[in-house]
Structure 1
Amino acid sequence: MRRCVGKSGQLILASAWLLVGLLGTVVVAQEAPTKTKAKPFNFDFAPNPGLSPAAASGEMELTASFHIEQGASTGRLVVEATISPEWHTFAITQPPGGSQPSKLTVPAAVDYRLTGPWVADRNPKVVASEVFQHKGKPVQEEMFEGRVVWTAPIELTAGVKAEELEIPVAYSGQICHDKGGCIPVNKPKLVAKFAGYDEAPQTAGEFKAYDGELVLRGKLEPQVVKPGGTATLTITAEVAPEWHVYEQANAIGESINKPTLFVVANSAGWKVGEVKASAPAKAPSGSSDLPYYSGTVSWVVDLQVPADAPRGEVTLSGLLGFQICTDTNCKTPAGAQFTVSAIVGEADSVGPALVQFKEGTYKEAAELTKEMAASTAAQTATTEGRATAAPLPMPLLIGLAFAGGLLLNFMPCVLPVLGLKLISFAQQGGESRTRMLLLNLSYTAGLMVVFMILAVLSITAGLAWGEQMTHFGFRMTLLVITFALALSLFGVWEIPIPGFAGSEGSSKLQKQEGYTGAFFKGLFTTILGISCSGPLLGFALGATISLPPIYTVVIFACIGLGMASPFLALPFVPGVRNLLPKPGDWMDTFKQVMGFVMMAAAIFFFSTIQNEWRIATASLLLGVGFACWWIGKVPMYDPLGKQLTAWIGGAAAAALVGVVAFNTLGPPDKSVALDWQEFSTAKLKQLQQENRTILVDFTADWCVNCQTNLKFAIERSDVKQLVEQNKVVAVKADWTNPNPELEATLKGLRMRQIPVLAIYPAGKPEDVIVIDGILTKDQVIAAIQKAGPSKVALDNARPAAATTAKLDLSTP
C-alpha cells in the first residue's frame, strides 16, 4: 500500500533541495584559485541587470613581480592591477572622507628594503564625489580604470640572489561600478617573484635609439618649483641625416607611419598643459603620410604645481613612442620611458633637472595614450553630465515603491513562477477564505524575506537593485534551479515541497498547496523578479542613496507589499471562489506548458553566461539533468532513507560533472595566453619582411582538436617563455567562418584540414615548419627552437638552420 513521506521528511528534503541550489553558488565561488590572479567567476557587483557581459564579470586581477638593474642591487617592485570594463579602483593618494584608497604593504625583511613610496604609472582620473563630503565640500575621487601599475624602488641586501627571492605584498582596497555598487578587494598574500634584469639607465639627460640614429635629450626647468608655480618639461629629438621623425599626436590614427606619442603618465598631481613643438612640421612627402621633422625638434609641455602641493621631492614619469624613416625605409616603431625628479620648495631654482630614460615600447606608449584619452573624455562627460535632483517627499516615495512592486508582477522575469501561482489559485478555489488568506500570507512571507535581505545588503554593502545578477554564482544558481524546475514540471522528478510543482504522478497530498510550498513560491518569485527592473522603481530606490538606513528598509518593504498586494487582496474579493478556475485535468496540461516557459527562463539565464564558460555550463546542466532523472526514479512514497540515497547520489553526480567541467572546459589561464595577432596574408607578408619568426595557428571554434592543442600544447608557460625569448610573433588564423585568404594559405602549405601549426623562420619563410593533428607541448617547443628567433629583435642572432617543408616531431 502506498504511503506518503511525513511532513518532517518533506521539510528535510526541501532543505536539501535548497542547499543544493545554494551550494551551486558556493562551488562556483570556490573555483577562484588561491594564486595571485583571480578567476573570472569571483563574486562581484554591478548596478543593474542591463550591464554588458564584460561589466557583469566585475573584478580586479592583481599580479606582482620585481626587477633588478643589471650589475646593481637596486630595482623596482611592481604590482599590476587589471580592472573589468565599467569598473574602477582608487589611488593610493585617495583623500580621506571618501572611497577606500588602495593600500600596498610590504613587510620588513633582512633580504630587501623599500627605498621610496609607491607610484602609479599614470595620473588618476579625478571626479568630485556625489556621495561623500569633507568639510562641506565634495571629496575628490581619484580613480583608475582598465589597468594601473604601481612601482616602488627596492634595494637587495648584499649577497641575496634575486632569482631565489620572493617578496610578499599585501593589497587592500575596493573596486566600484561607474553607476554605483562597490566590492572590497583584499589580497594579503601576493607574491612578487624575480621577473628579470633591467638594463642600466643611459646617461642622464640622453637616450640613444636605433643605434644612435635618433638621440633624445630631456630636462625639467626649474628643478625646484614653489607651490602654484610652473615648470617646463622639454624633450628634444635629434635625427641622423636622411632620417626623419613624425609629428606628435594624441592618437595613432589610421596612418601607415607612426606619429610621435608624448604622454606624461604620472604628473604627481601637477596640471599638464598642451604639448607644443619648437617648429612646424614638414608636409607629408614621398612614402611618408604624416607631417615630419628632420634634424632637431623639441616638444615642450608646461606643468603647473597646485597651490596646496606639499613640500618635498616628487617623481614625474611618462612614455615616448616614435618611429624614424627615410624616403624609402622605416625603422620598427620604438619607445622610451622617462622619469625626472623635481622638488616643491619655497623658491624657484634656475637649474634644470635632467630626464632619465629607459627603453620602452611603442605599444606601451600607444596603449597609455589611448587610456589617457579615454579617461579624459569620460571625466569630461561625467562632469558635464552630472546633475543633482532634490529628494522626493517620503509619502510619494512610498507610493512609488508600492506601485513599482505591484508592476513587478507583470514583468517577464516572474511569469514562470506566476504560472504556478495560477495553479495554486485553482487549488484554492475549494478552500475556505481563512485558508486562502493563510496560504497567501505564507507566499507574502517568503517574498518579504527576500526584500528584507536586499534592504540589509543595500545598507551594509551598497548593493543596488539587480546587482545579484552580476554574480556569476548567482546567475549559475538561478540557471540550475530554473532548469531543474522545468524538468520537474515535465514530470522527470518531484520537488519535495507540497504543492510547489507537483506533476501528474504526484499524490493528492503532494499536489495540494501547503504553507511551505507557498512560502518557497514567494521566495523564488522574488529572486526571479529582481532580475527585472520594473517601472517606478528607479525613482524610489535612487532616493535611498542619500536617506538614512531606516528609510531604505521602509522603501524595500513597500516594494514587497506592493508585489504581494494582489494575493493578499484576493481572499477579500466577494465571490472569489466562484471566480477562480476549478481544479481539473487541465492543470496537468497547463503545468507542462509552464515547463516550456520555465525552460525559456533557463535559456535566458544561460545567455548571460560568458562565452568561454558556456561549454562547461552546458556540461553542468547535463549533470543536473542526470541527477533529476536519478532522483525521479525513486517515487515520493518510498521510504525516506531511499529518497535521501537518491538525492545524495544525484547531487554527487551533478557536483562531479560540474567540478570536472569547470576545471577542464573553461577558458585557458590568462597568464599563459600568447599575444595573438589577427591573420591576413598582408600581415604575414609584413612580418616576413621585418625578419620575424612567425607562429601561425590555423584553428576554429568548431574544431575540438584545435581547442585541445591550444589548451594543452600551445598556450603553456614554457611555450610562452620561449615565444617571448625568441621574439616570435603569434598569429591566429581563425577558420570559424569562411575565409578565402586562410584557405589559400593552407593550400600553399599542402594542407586542407585543421588543426595546423605553421612556423615561418625569420629570413627563410620558404622553409616553413608545418605540424598538424593532435600536438604535444614538446612538439611545439621543438618546432619553435628549430625555427630560431626573430632577427630584427636580436642584433647578434645567428641565422636559423634550413628546415624541411614538413617536420615530423612525433618522436623525441
Structure 2
Amino acid sequence: MRPDAKKLVLIAMLMLTGLILVAQTFTYRVTPGELKPGERGTVRVTMSIPAGKHQSHNPQDNEYFKLNASHPDLVFGKTQYPAAHTVVSPEQWDYHGSVTLSLPFTVKANAAPGNKTINVSMDYGLCFDTGQCEPPELAEGSVRLVVAAANPDQPVSNITEEPVAPETVTTAIAITDSVAEQAEAPVEPVKNPVSKILWYLLLAFVGGVIMNFTPCVLPVLTIRAMSIVNQAAEDKSKIFKHSMAYALGVLVSFIALAVVFIILKLAGESVGWGFQFQSVSFTIALTSIIFVFALALLDVFIISPPGMTAATQASAKKGVSGSFFGGVFAFLLATPCSAPLLGTAVGFAFGLPAWLMLIFFALVGIGLAFPFILIGLSPKALKIIPKPGEWMNIFKEVMAFVLLWIVYTMLKSVLKLTDGDYLLHVIMFILSLGFAAWLYGRFVRPEHSKATQWIFTLLTLVIIVGAALIYLPYKEAAVVEEVGIGDGLMRPAKDTPAGWYDFSPALMEKLLAEDAPVFVDFGAVWCKNCQANEKNVLFTDDIMAAFKAKGVILIHGDYTKQNPDMLEFMKKHGRVGVPFNVLYVKGAEPRLFSELLSKGMILDALKDLPEVSK
C-alpha cells in the first residue's frame, strides 16, 4: 500500500473513533446490590449529554423521557426525575451535561434466591441548543441484582402493588442529582459504552468475513475469484479495478440496507434481520435471478445484445460492472446465512443512532468484501488459486448445481409464505424463464443475422413478461389461526418432531411463571443456519432424548413470515433475527446460544438440570 493510502486509512480510523467518542453514553446502576424478598431498591441510569445539546422533560407527560425495566421477580414503580437544570416553562425542564433518572422497585415475596439480570431501557430525545431536535431514541442496558434467601422467621407478604417512592417529583424543587447519588452502595462496574460499541463494530467486520465461507456466498465468491484469475493471466493491472468494483458492490448494498432499516425505524416500523425474505415478491425475484445465473454457469446462454461482435462480447463479460454486480449478488445471497457472531452484533446495531448503524452495516460489507480487498491490494494472493484450465469449467458447472440447490430451498420458502397451488404457478414461471433463457442463448449469437437476433431477443422478453403476468399475481389470503390437535396454549408445532409446541407470548408467560425449564427455537425456511441447527442438532434423536430426560419443554417459532410477537421477544434478548435459541432454567439467567449450534453446546447447557422422575 502506498504511503498516501496508509495515511488516508489512518485518518479515516481516527475520524471514526472521534465520532464514537462524541456520542452520548449511559451508566446503569442498582442500589443496594443485594436484597431479600419484600425489600426495596432503586435502578438508576445516568445519561451524559454531548456539548451543544440538552434533554427536555415535560413533568405532566413522561412518554418521551422515562425509564423502563422488567424482571418477573420485581415490581417497579414510576420514574423519578431530578431538579431541572433550566426551567424554561412549567411544561419544559431542560437538562445539560448529564442527568440521572431513578426507578424504585420491590422484590416479590416469592422471588427465588440467586443472581438476577434486570433489563433497563431509557426513552430519550436530545435537542440541539439551536432548537432542532433529533428523533426519539431508546438506550438499553442491564444491571445485576443478588436476591438473598428470605428469613423464615420473618414472613413476607405478597407484593402486588407498585412500590411508592419516598418522594414524587412534581415541581422543580425535587430530588437532585447529588441526593440521588447518596446512599449508593458499591456495585458491579459498568463496561465502558465506547469499548462496547467498538467491540460490536469488530464483531460486525468479523461476521462479514465469516459470511464468505457459508453455502450462500461461497459459489459467488469462488466464481468471481476464478474470473479474476483469467483477467490476471491477461492483464494484472485489471486486478485492482475489478476487486475494488466487487467490494464497492457489496458495500453499497449493505449501506442501502442500513438506509432502509433507518427509514423504517424512523417511520415507527418494527423490522428484523432478514425481513426482506418474508416478502413473496422479493423471494421470487431473487429465486429467478439465482436460477438464471445457474443456467449461465451451465452455458445455457451468454448475455450478448444483438449485433455485438465476439470481441465486444468478450469485453462485456469482463467489464467492471460485472464485478460490481457480482458484489451485489453476493450481498443478496448473504443475508439468510447469518454468520456466527453477527446475530448478536446486528441486535445491538438496531439500537444504535442512525449514523452509527450506517457505520455498522458498512463494516459488515467490508468484512464480506475483505478477500477481494486483499486481492486488489496484494495480487500475490491469487497464487493460492491454481492456473486456469479445464478444472475451472468443471468447477463452474458444479457451482451451478449448488445454486440450483439454493433455488430449491427458496422454493420451499415460497411454499411456506404462500400455499401449494401458488408454488405450482411459481414453478411454471421458473420453467418459462428457463425456456426463454435457452431461446436467447440458442439464437442470439453473432453467427445469426441481426434480424434473427432482434426477433429472439424480443421473443425472450415477451415470454418472460407474459409468464410473469400469467403465473405470478398473488393475493394474500386472510390468516387463519391453526389450533392444531392440542388443547389451550400447548399446540403441537408444525414440521417438527413430536414434543415441540408452537410459540405464543401467553404460553411463554405461563411456562416461565411456573418455573418450568423451557428451550425456545426460532427459525425460518429461508434461514440456512436454522435448517442446519434443527436437522443436525435440535431434532436429532439423542438431543430430543436429552431434553425429555431433563423435563425441558420445547417451544418452536416459525419466523418465515412476519411475526411481531416473535420479533419483540427476540429484541428483549438483544437479537433481531434468526437463528434464535434460548434456554430458561429456574434460578438462572436465560442462556442465549450462538447462531451455529452443536450437540455439545446443548448437552453442556442441560448437564446441571436434574433428571425427571419416570
- When the two structures are superposed, what TM-score results if normalisation uses the length of structure 2? 0.43
TM-score normalised according to structure 1 size: 0.33
Larger Rg: 1 or 2?
A: 1
Q: Which has the higher contact order (CA 8 A, sep 6+)?
A: 2
Q: Which has the higher helix share?
A: 2
